[in-house]
Amino acid sequence: MSKKLILLFALSTTSCLNAQTKAEQAIKTFEQKYPQEKIHLMLDKSSYIAGENLRFKSFVFDGYTTSAISTSLFLELYDSNKNQIGKKMIPLFNGEGSGNIALPASLKEDIYYIRAYTSWMANFSEDFQFIRPVTVYNPSSPSKLIADFGEWKASVYPESGSFIDGFNTKVAVRIQSSGIAPSEWEGYVIDVDNPDTKITTFTGFDQNIGLFHITPKIGKKYQLIVKDKNGRKQNVMLPTVTSSGIGIQVVADKDNIKYTLTSKDISQDSQYYTVLGTINNQLVYKAKIGKISEGSQYSISNQQLVNGILQLTVFDDKEDVISNRLVFVQPQLLKVKQPSLQSVSLKNTPRSKNSFDIPKDDNYSNYTVLVMDANTRSTEEDQSLLSSLWLTGDISSPVINPAQYFTKNRNTEALDALLISEKWTRFNWKSIISGNYPKIRYQPENYLSFKGKVNIEGKPAPKTDVNLIFSSGSGPKVFQVKSDDSGFFVLKNLIFEDSMKFSYQLNSDSKEYNNNYSVYFQPNFNFIPYSKNLPSVSYKLTPRLPDDKPSEEINRVINALNTQKIISEKVINIEEVKIKGELKNKTKKLNNELSSALFRSSHEDVFDFVNDINTSSAINILQWLQGRVAGLSLQSQNGTSIPYLRGEKTTVYLDEMLATPDQISNMSTSEIAMVKVIKGFFAGGFAGSNGAIAIYTRRGNSDGKIIDRSQPSQLRQITLSGYDKETPLENPVYESDSFKNIVSDTRSVLYWNPFLDAQSQKSVPLEFYNNDDAKKYRIIIMGYDKNNDIPLYYNEVMP
């Protein structure tokens, strides 16, 4: 995690507590060298029909803060037979990314699976990659999906794994099913020799977990009988009662985590015991205990901890694990920010205009916003940003509806019982103590990276200079690279969508190589095969009968798909009219010619030096900008003017490549075609939310107004594939006559913006239009305070 947690010590009852154990050294190495990423993926809907666009927003975390390790996210779509039917690669900006997957209209009705991972995550267990089933309907498919009430299985987990004679023990009961798990179930415990007497009874908390207490006695055999509301029953034997051992009992309250060590008839071979507490593989607590006294309780203050899973492990003096327990820190008080919406205007009339403002908070560069017809289910109702961050991102077993443990009406006892049934599998203590760490096969790259090879007359060309002339929508960009001793070179840190063409030429005066050389490229990134089996789901396929008709909900979605196509066509037509009307605006035309999509923002100041502005008297472009851009100031450092925007150092780009202020300090303004100052978040930014100064140099074109720079001759051309381009969700504007003739509007997603700029105004305004019959709206807003490692999360139904 970005902020190091403080190591808390308990009073040592033996020798020096500060002596570092092998376990401590091992966990420090694991934390520093093997950080663990996890993913949350929010979809715009929970189910789809064939032909729709599946849209997603991704958050990649390193522990409990957004990850700075990976800059690319890989997504794959599988059918139920594990055949890959689609894949995407998207860039990550401060751990966040978004995109869409077009579901072919030919897809058969079935359950499909989205897999999301980073290259760094592929070094570790696949259990922690993101896999989500997605329901796709298709009324023309020969088979249809129906609910599958499959067999379920119950398992028992005594707290800390010990079942000791005479000790009152909490026992978690875990339900797992290949289909729909029972929502209502109960159980009781009997002595096998006296089956007519119920020792204790309990009712399951939810579809995952239940809990009971029992004081076992040596020589007794206990059996658990679990029964669901349909009368299905299962018998489970409890563990054999032991006459000796060590156990740990844990209680988490608002202020402290309290634990008690219990023991019975243990040997005196161990001179002391060590208790280590870790959060996100980071050591946060240590205690050394010489003798386990009956009923001795220890307390860990929550003051220096964070919400998340704390692993408490008891070691003997040989550093063998004696007992282990997972517990959630402060489940009663979740540290979550929630915006208070302002200027709320929500109506339930057909096609009405609705709006609200999100108050500005300087800790957020952007928000993710989804507004739905409240009758449509969101994926956040099952697995939320909070549950991925704090629970399922760190455990490997399937959990039904994990979001329930982090809602306003959450059951903290159920969450604790769930963690009794879990083990921390990010690492194994015995393995890392012995020095057995994961093998790193995939290093994270900075965005796109390509390996090139130069051949001359069919042989590798070492130490050879090559000119590369890129064309990415913002004019030519010339780079010179030099091959290594084997003829290879690497292009790093590229960000572009779809494809990018470029030409190349040897930087040599020799004519003998003009037709006898070549440059080959291969990407330094790969989609990595998935070896595990896909998870089971609660649906199965059955033949569709001739008289089967689609449900009302499916008909609504089909109608919405057709409506969305009409909306998109009208928006495109409107944009084409706008573009034609704006051709006379030469500055906008120049901006479109020179700047790529990643360097465009709704909050930018553009200065046109070709058509508009006379800079003949300007000495330095940054000095010229000062006084013309609100919030821009210059500070002199070692004789160089450093630009600051809103009091913070900002980034300079030259033809959309990172540049330093001294690189442009002596640049003639006659060489500049356009400058734009971007305020707030933009997709191509490296410097967070503080915007940038983008300078574009003059290039040759037909009107003769731009300087024509000499270009290398006899160029050869090649194309590189980049990130997958996102298709935005087009929204109707019913105040415009263009949308008046839409017959029916049954859209369930009314607004979707995975990167809503949060820095440019005092508050962030948002507008959307209702469908034909929605009476309530589900509004979901997500963000992450990277300064304080606190999620922002809003998920409410209004009005």
Q: 761: phi > 0 → left, psi -120 to 50 → alpha, else beta; which?
A: beta
Band of residue 664 on the pLDDT scale cut at 50, 70, 90:
confident
Per-residue pLDDT band at 638 (split at 50, 70, 90): confident
Which range among 147-161, 199-213, 283-297 has the greatest average pLDDT?
Answer: 199-213
Q: Note the pLDDT of residue 4.
A: 66
Strands 692-697 and 672-678: antiparallel
Q: Which two tokens stand for residue 22?
A: 């092998």
pLDDT digits (tens, 9 = 90+) for 740-799: 889 999 999 999 999 998 877 788 899 999 999 999 999 999 999 878 889 999 999 998
Q: Provide the residue type at 397 as one letter.
A: S
Average per-residue pLDDT for the chain: 88
Q: Please state, in angstroms and rounded to a whole number, the distance separating the CA atoms of residues 411 and 32.
A: 35
Architecture of domain 581-716 in this structure: Beta Complex (2.170)
What mean pLDDT comes out for the span 175-203? 95
Please check whether residue 782 is in contact with residue 378, taking contact to mean a CB–CB distance below 8 angstroms: no
Task: Look at residue 1 in the predicted model and tell me its pLDDT.
Answer: 43
**pLDDT attached to residue 709:** 37
Q: What is the pLDDT of residues 337-359, one digit of tens each?
A: 999 999 999 999 999 999 999 99
Beta bridge partners of 101: 54
Please report the pLDDT score of residue 702 as a whole number: 32
The domain locations on the chain are 448-523, 581-716
The predicted pLDDT at position 16 comes to 55
Contact (CB, 8 A) for 280 and 308 = yes
Summarised one tens digit per residue, pLDDT across range 277-306 is 999 999 999 999 988 877 688 999 998 899
Per-residue pLDDT for 392 more than 60? yes
- If you write DSSP's letter for every residue of 208-219 in order, what string do you get? SEEEEEE---TT
pLDDT at 571: 74
pLDDT of residue 276: 97
| pLDDT value for 457 | 81
Place of tokens 């290879």: 488
Phi-psi group of 628: left, alpha or beta (phi > 0 → left; psi -120 to 50 → alpha; rest → beta): alpha
Worst-scoring range by mean pLDDT, 11-20, 92-101, 374-383, 487-496?
A: 11-20
Whether the predicted pLDDT of 226 surpasses 60: yes
Of 113, 102, 107, nearest in space to 41 by CA = 113
The pLDDT, as a whole number, for residue 642 is: 87
Q: Of the given ranges (133-137, 309-313, 380-384, 633-637), which has the lowest mean pLDDT?
A: 633-637
Stronger pLDDT, 524 or 240, i.e. the higher one: 240
- What single-letter DSSP state applies at residue 61? E
pLDDT surpassing 60 at residue 579 = no
What pLDDT is stored for residue 578 in this prediction? 52
Lowest mean pLDDT among 450-454, 467-471, 571-575: 571-575
- What are the tens digits of pLDDT across the range 688-745? 556 889 998 876 553 434 444 343 334 577 888 899 999 989 999 999 888 888 999 9
The pLDDT, as a whole number, for residue 505 is 78
Task: Give the residue with greater pLDDT, 18 vs 583.
Answer: 18
CB 132 within 8 A of CB 114: yes
Residue 567's pLDDT band (cuts 50, 70, 90): confident
